Structure 1
């Protein structure tokens, strides 16, 4: 009985990963997730996870520790770099997510979902979601990123806009690359993993450190 419940829960998490990545964590239908998981009970999500927020937390927990462990290692290395080194901090974000995205469709969907969640106020989603996000190490990473951007003297609104656009671009670039690996070949040759990471870090650094536009 316990094994069957565990299997049902995993099917629901897999279905939610796909649905949240395709439609967004707030727009995806819980009923559709239930159907994708092959469950006849319309209340399966609420039975196993309590609420939409509980379902989101379960999805985020899928790779939180994997991303967090790798991120901690890279962030420790970044802290040893000069105070104006943005690239090493960006790599601490990019590399763990690329590694997870290459684990298959689940990893790719996870990157898309995490990218959406971390760009919103997650307080209303409750402590379980907050804990799952915290386990990725993202809070410490973005705190160091802001600290190293401080000498640029950007106003709060501009900094927030840059970090939001930067994060969205990074997450989607990683997810799109992983998705392309599952599709028929196109005329575009994908970069090898290490070159892709190096290029994305370079582009992200340029994005965050571009000259600030005049106010007005």
Structure 2
């Protein structure tokens, strides 16, 4: 890795933290540059062209890892009976849990995804939307919509949105708890945590509409 590649990687890592903590649209690019140890105020534009280019670079860090794992789990879910919901929820939950196990950068990545999935796709920059589409999650959600119990379209849409935010936040918060200087409440080990989260999501998706 040459000096330019090393600088770019430090900027991506700093942007991952900055976007997660301060928001993808509001994080200071100058502060990200400073956190990356760069004195050149134009470093972001030199390496990425724009805030959007930097965000795409951040998303591409773990894109292949998540997409590959989601495809593996989706194939398993597609082979299950049409009423099986657990296997589809596992395809939603497990890749994110495994990513968080990579540490702080994985957690920050999930927090960024949690912000982006709340945005209107029609108003999203095409480059960012394309990166999100490459994650493969849309196929998982398509199967999830087929297998949730019948309910009004607006309720189903609301539940899927809330479930996404809940999953990403729960996983990110668990990862963050491990970084605290003083221990908080006891945390489940990874496998029990993942199983419990899957069960909770299934319960949320199958509850009778209010």
8 Å Cα contact 1:122-1:129 kept in structure 2:
no
Match of 1:65? 64
- Tell me the number of residue pairs that the alignment of Structure 1 and Structure 2 aligns: 210
Q: Distance in 1 between matches of 2:116 and 2:198?
A: 21
Corresponding residue for 1:205? 202
Corresponding residue of 1:25: 24
Between stretches 56-65 and 27-36, larger displacement belongs to 27-36
TM-score by length of 1: 0.91
Q: Point out where structure 1 has 5 or more consecutive residues left out of the alignment.
A: none
The residue number in structure 2 matching 1:190 is 187
**Which of 149, 170, 188 does residue 173 from structure 1 map onto?**
170
Q: Is 1:50 equivalent to 2:58 in the alignment?
A: no
Q: Deviations over 1:18-41 (max 9, x none)?
A: 011111111111121111111112
2:11 aligns with 12
Q: Which digits, 9 at most, give the CA deviation of each residue in 1:108-143, with x for residues without a partner?
A: 111111121122134554343223212221111111
1:121 and 2:126 matched: no
- What residue is the counterpart of 2:139 in the other structure? 140
Cα distance between partner residues in 2 of 1:122 and 1:59: 18
Measured in 1, the distance between the counterparts of 2:123 and 2:57 equals 16
2:151 to 150, 153, 163: 153
Structure 1 stretch displaced more, 124-133 or 52-61 = 124-133
Structure 1 distance, partners of 2:122, 2:29, is: 21
Distance (Å, rounded) in 2 between the aligned partners of 1:82 and 1:15: 44
CA-CA distance at 1:180 after TM superposition: 1.3
Residues 127-186 of structure 1, C-alpha deviation per residue, up to 9 Å, x if partnerless?
43223212221111111111212x41322x222221111111100110111111222353
SS state at 1:85 partner = coil
**Alignment check: 8 A CA contact 2:18 2:27 kept:** yes
Structure 2 counterpart of 1:41: 40
Distance 1:183 1:135 in 2: 33
Mean Cα deviation higher: 7-16 or 80-89: 80-89
1:4-61: CA deviations, max 9, x gaps?
A: 1111111110111001111111111112111111111222111111111111111111
Q: 2:58 & 2:122 partners in 1: Cα distance?
A: 17
Please report how far the alpha carbon of residue 187 of structure 1 lies from its aligned counterpart in structure 2 after TM superposition: 4.8
Tell me, yes or no, if the aligned pair for 2:177 and 2:184 is still in contact at 8 Å: no
Matched-pair contact (CA < 8 Å) for 1:53–1:125: no
Q: Which residue number in structure 1 is paired with residue 160 of structure 2?
A: 163
